[in-house]
Amino acid sequence: MGTKRQFRIWRGDETGGDLQDYTVEVNEGEVVLDVIHRLQNTEAPDLACRWNCKAGKCGSCSMEINGKPRLSCMTRMSTFEEGETVTVTPLRTFPVIRDLVTDVSFNYEKARETPAFAPPPGVAPGDYRMQQVDVERSQEFRKCIECFLCQNVCHVIRDHEENKPAFSGPRYFIRAAELDMHPLDAKADRKEYAQAEMGLGFCNITKCCTEVCPEHIKITDNGIIPMKERVVDRRYDPLVWLGSKIFRR
Ligand code: SF4
Ligand code: F3S
Ligand code: FES
């Protein structure tokens, strides 16, 4: 037999909504998503939430728990104080569909806008070769589970809806960084593209994206900052600029 805990959960849709109070049983070892499932099985069968793997790998169950963007399947109830009310709200940066489900299609649009890997001309599929060291260099970025917590927390769009058209966000900056490290990618300079087309310049390195990433990807230090530094070098350092012309890859 578990203990009774207090929850406040946002209920509503695109026309508006409010926080509703629930008292619900919690058992040892449970996570926030377990509690949401218990509510769906008892007093709130119509409570909408998105989830899939319950193992921190599908990136579906993103929500804000006590104001912090988190995966609900990886947030243990033991992280909260006994007697503390747990408040669960939908991701704030994206439009609500219903209850805890948001419309994250902004991110899919940005994914489509990011130019895909472009193989070098004359190399047939199956003939691509690269060194193991090059595979490993960008491995960190390929751990992304597309939970969009980093996209949700970045103040550039969280507080400024008007920035959305011009800003791809941290998840796509690491995609650009990953492709920039790819020795066979023949697309013209990914850093320049990120600066010119993806809104890299809007990022002022607050690192909130890195803080919330459940895969512990060093989005800012390993992805964003190196790209920013190299863009700045090329623009303002005539020697680096000249070198980049002479030793073009
Ligand atoms: Fe989620 Fe991290 Fe990928 Fe951002 S970079 S979408 S926080 S896994
Ligand atoms: Fe946003 Fe991350 Fe930059 S939170 S401002 S993209 S460091
Ligand atoms: Fe898949 Fe939480 S349900 S990450």
Going by pLDDT thresholds of 50, 70 and 90, the confidence category of residue 106 is very high
Closest Cα to atom 1 of ligand 2: 154
> Which ligand number lies closest to the CA of residue 207?
2
Say what percent of the chain tops pLDDT 90: 84
What is residue 196's DSSP assignment? H
Cβ atoms of 85 and 56 closer than 8 Å = no
pLDDT for 233:
64
The predicted model gives 109-137 an average pLDDT of 92
Whole-number Å distance between alpha carbons of 81 and 78: 7
pLDDT for 234:
63
pLDDT digits (tens, 9 = 90+) for 11-48: 999 999 999 999 999 999 999 999 999 999 999 999 99
pLDDT digits (tens, 9 = 90+) for 156-205: 999 999 999 999 999 999 999 999 999 999 887 999 999 999 999 999 99
* pLDDT above 90 (res 237): no
Q: Given CA atoms 199, 202, 204, 209 in this order, what sign does their dihedral have?
A: negative
Going by pLDDT thresholds of 50, 70 and 90, the confidence category of residue 249 is very low
* pLDDT above 90 (res 72): yes
Mention every residue, 6+ apart, whose C-beta is less than 8 A from residue 136. none
Give distance in angstroms: CA of 162 to centre of ligand 1: 22
Atom of ligand 3 nearest to the CA of 58: 1
Tokens of 50: 């998105």
* pLDDT above 80 (res 70): yes
pLDDT for 239:
52
Ligand 2 pocket residues where CB is under 6 Å: 153-154, 156, 170, 203-209, 220, 224
pLDDT for 240:
47
CA–CA distances in Å: residue 120 to residues 53, 148, 161, 183, 185: 37, 31, 38, 10, 7
The predicted model gives 114-143 an average pLDDT of 92
**What are residue 152's phi and psi, to 5 degrees?**
-65, -35
